[in-house]
Chains A and B, each alone.
Chain A
Amino acid sequence: MNKTVNNKAWWLVLPVFLMVAFNALVPLMTVVNYSIQETFGNNEFFWSGTTWFEQILHDGEFHASLRRQLVFTGLVLLIEIPLGLAIALCMPRQGPWVSVCLVLVALPLLVPWNVVGSMWNIMALPDIGLLGKGINALGIPFNYTRQPISAWFTVVLMDVWHWTSLVLLLCYAGLVAIPDAYYQAAKVDGAGPWAVFRHIQLPKLKHVLTIAVLLRFMDSFMIYTEVIVLTGGGPGSTTKFLSIDLVQKALGGFDLGPAAAFSIVYFLIILFLSWLFYTLMMREEAR
């Protein structure tokens, strides 16, 4: 659509601009302020330059949570994106079952995040939970409060349960939007289901898949509530991801400086990786 140049449109955007600026700029400035200053209480601050940043960048704990975060996000993307796409292909396109399936599939997205944590906590209890009891009954020792592997398995499974539907809904929306003419043309050419998928559906889905990967990347990189309720970052600190580490530093101790430097590094990592994903996928799309 060709748009008219009209700077008066700023008046329409102004409320949004003011609201978001109030919420985003003031806190960000606070964080930046803390990150370069030293305080001994009494609201007295001293310039400390890049001390906190150096401290955080050399902090072994930060490195460990960053590594865990990258492995977790990688795993989650590798499972959820193909699974969501595969199940979207299985969804009915028309008929009475469409809305039933949509409502059921979308349900996990509407569950408060702490309830997701509690739900899987109860589900995976080794003695009285369906999942924990089930796995133990198969002869595999399972206890997510003791064994790191069980904890990781439960956390990843929980995220798959929680968020695969988002990928599914996005892909489904993309699939429904493909005009019938494409399928008819494929039929005339005698294309099999795999050829239809490879040459019609997948190219048409690139845009929604980009959105799905970006959203899943950002949200899984920020995961906090579900994990804190399910494992509390444990056993030990084997499931302590970046947000959990940050909240412990910011609210637990009085280390405002390091916590603020942490926040800024954290935010920059997300921005950089999102930009990277976006550019790579856009280049692929342009090809």
Chain B
Amino acid sequence: MRKRHIVLTLYIVFLMLPIYWLLNMSFKTTNEILGGFSAFPRDFTLDSYRTIFTDPTWYNAYINSITYVVINTVLSVAIALPAAYAFSRYRFLGDKHLFFWLLSNRMAPAAVFVLPFVNLYSAVGLFDTPWAVALAHTLFNIPLAVWILEGFMSGVPKELDETAYVDGYSFPSFFVRIFLPTISAGIGVAAFFCFMFSWVEMLLAKNLTSVAAKPIVAVMTKTASTSGYELGLLAAAGVLTIIPGAIVIYFVRNYIAKGFALGRV
């Protein structure tokens, strides 16, 4: 028993060290960072954070990122819901093929799609808007949401549907008033994964935007490459990108593990 605790603690320390180092850097002055190695900030400063919250390039980038992540999450989950219901309740022409075709999109490298996406979204006039990124991310988020939701829905007995129809519910009112509340945990998990994959993705987000809708990841890479000495700023921006994830994870902690296990390959 003892040994288990030690292994687990070591692993968590290993996970936390880089995050601590990032925090540590974000509270240091540039001089101290370049001055040499120190395990904790000697001249504690909030300057890096102050820059981010006052410079519109920085805080707008956060707003842009959150905008497309939210659009993507809402869109993916909303249109995946009826499809997942169809997959879990009915057999129809080509259902299995369709399901595997959807999942195969999860295997497509984003690098393959960069160039065609830029062409496609320029052609429909969405380039450099949050919509372009949100729609592009649905390529891998919709299949994932369908997969997770289908797993949860299959766990709900069919008698629930039948009883509701006998009681005189129409399909839409049954779906919204009875079915959705029953699988709310599943919706939470699906939304969590859509949020997560949209929030962490950079290649598409960066290349589908130029000025107006520039996401935080793009601003950060620019800082990283043009001025290597602004490490403090980079670290502070990094810390701020971890916070939304940490908040979301806290709310769904009890469902995360379940979400994976219930899906099927």
Within B168-218, the residues touching A (CB, 8 Å) are 196, 199-203, 207, 216-217
Interface residue from A3, A28, A109, A121 paired with B90 (Cβ < 8 Å)? A3
Determine if B258 and A173 form an interchain contact, defined as CB atoms under 8 angstroms apart. Answer: yes
Cβ of A278: which chain B residues have Cβ within 8 Å of it?
Answer: 265
A121 and B92 CA atoms in complex are apart in Å by 51
Q: Are B98 and A17 in contact (CB under 8 A)?
A: yes
Residue of B nearest to A129 (CB): B21
B74 at the interface (CB under 8 A from A): no
Number of interface residues of B (CB under 8 A): 93
Across the interface, name the chain B residue whose C-beta is closest to A250.
B115
Q: Are B260 and A259 in contact (CB under 8 A)?
A: no
- Are B87 and A224 in contact (CB-based, < 8 A)? no
* Chain A residues within 8 Å of B242, by CB: 107, 110-111, 115
Are B107 and A127 interface neighbours, CB within 8 A? Answer: no
A274 within 8 A of B: yes
Residues of B within 8 A of A1 (CB): 88, 154, 158
* B92–A24 CB distance below 8 A: no
Q: Which of A27, A207, A224 has the most CB of B within 10 A?
A: A27
B-chain residues with CB within 8 Å of residue A4 when the two chains form the complex = 89-91
CB distance B4 to A89 under 8 Å?
yes
CA distance A18 to B235 in the complex (A): 41
Contact check, A247 vs B265: say whether CB atoms are below 8 A apart.
no
Q: How far does the Cβ of B159 sit from chain A's closest Cβ, in whole Å?
A: 11
Q: How far is the CA of A19 from the CA of B139 in the complex (A)?
A: 8
Provide the residues of chain B in CB contact with A130, threshold 8 Å: 17, 21, 39
- Which chain A residue has the least Cβ–Cβ distance from B243? A110
Q: Is the CB of B112 within 8 A of A161?
A: no
**What is the total number of residues of chain A having a CB less than 8 Å from a CB of chain B?**
91
Question: Does A56 count as interface, using CB distance less than 8 angstroms?
Answer: no
Q: Is A280 an interface residue (CB 8 A)?
A: no
Chain A residues numbered 121-168 whose CB sits less than 8 Å from any CB in chain B: 121-123, 127-130, 133, 161, 164-165
Q: Which of B79, B106, B109, B110 is the most central at the interface, judged by chain A CB atoms within 10 Å of its CB? A: B109
Choose among A86, A118, A164 the residue that contacts B7 (Cβ–Cβ < 8 A). Answer: A86
**Assembled-state Cα–Cα distance A222/B139 (Å):** 15
Asked whether B36 is an interface residue with its Cβ less than 8 Å from the other chain, the reply is yes
**Considering residues A118, A121, A172, which has the most beta carbons from chain B within 10 angstroms of its beta carbon?**
A118
**Which stretch of B8-16, B43-51, B52-60 is in the interface?**
B8-16
B7 touches A267 (CB 8 A): no
Interface string of A1-38 (1 = CB under 8 A from B): 10111111110110111011001101110110000000
How many Å lie between the Cα of A101 and that of B253 in the bound state?
10
Q: Which residues of chain B from 89 to 118 have a CB within 8 Å of any chain A CB? A: 89-93, 95, 98, 102, 104-117
Q: List 9 A-B contacts (CB under 8 A).
A: A15-B82, A16-B142, A17-B83, A111-B238, A112-B216, A113-B200, A113-B201, A169-B260, A263-B109
Could you tell me if A16 and B146 are in contact, using CB atoms closer than 8 angstroms? yes
Using known A-B contacts A111-B241, A129-B21, determine if residue A211 contacts B260 with beta carbons closer than 8 Å.
yes
Cross-chain contact B82 with A110 (CB below 8 angstroms): no
A176: Cβ under 8 A from any B Cβ: yes
Most A C-beta atoms less than 10 A away, residue of B95, B116, B142: B116
- B254 engages A99 (CB within 8 Å): yes
Chain B, range 18-43, C-beta contacts under 8 Å to A? 18-19, 21-22, 25, 33-34, 36-37, 39
A residues 182-239 with Cβ under 8 Å of B? 207-208, 210-211, 214, 218, 221-222, 224-225, 229
Query: Is A55 close to B, CB under 8 A?
Result: no
CB of A222 within 8 A of CB of B248, answer: no
Q: Contact: A112 with B217, CB < 8 Å?
A: yes
Query: Residues of B contacting A111 with CB < 8 Å?
Result: 200, 238, 241-242, 245
A161 vs B13: C-alpha distance when bound (angstroms)? 11
